[in-house]
Amino acid sequence: PTAPGTRPGLSAALEASYAPALGLLHATYAAAGASGALREATILLKVWLRQRSVQQAGGVTGFQLSLLLVHLLRARVVTRSMGAYHVFRVVLSFLAKTMLEDHPVALPPPPAGGGGEDEHEHEGEAGQVHAVAAARFGRHFAWVLADSSAGVNYGAGVTRGALRELQEQAARSLRAIDSAALDDAAAFAGLFTTP
């Protein structure tokens, strides 16, 4: 017996829709040649996001930022040879300069071999999936962050206001990093403590 109003089939379907994204994240972090810097940059981004209180209802989540980081890795905006701070800074720069609502993202499929494949192997397919995802979700959602089949939009709950706030917070954080008036400790405190 199930509780009134619950739908076990729906819960199973929702959990199943996240399996490809979790597989992609696992394969990316476990891939041959993956350094700890990518994991550390992900942690820095999640802490930064949490301290900005952008994760409120309708806001971008740490999970979504992790998927965006995988996209940036596959798009060669960040590389595995970068240090954690450099990856963090490049992602902040991307967030500050990119109107995410006008920039649909189609994630690559998880590698079948558990991460040993060339991460750029599916680039031709990505353009097709990108177009399908933009057409399918772009009219209905502020942010398109689609899986490799364009069947699931992981950015569905994010509002336009939250995307603008994220962009503003990223720009403000970059200015703090670049400020010659701040020492490293003050810049760190400004980034990773509540503003």
Contact 105, 146 (CB under 8 A): yes
pTM of the full structure: 0.82
pLDDT at residue 176, rounded to an integer: 85
Q: What is the dihedral of CA 23, 98, 167, 45, to 10 degrees?
A: 30
* Mean pLDDT, the chain cut into blocks of 10 residues (195 residues total): 54 74 88 79 92 77 94 92 92 96 88 52 59 84 89 91 94 85 71 70
How much is the pLDDT for 182? 64
What pLDDT, on the 0 to 100 scale, is given for residue 29?
86
pLDDT of residue 151: 86
Output the pLDDT for position 143: 92
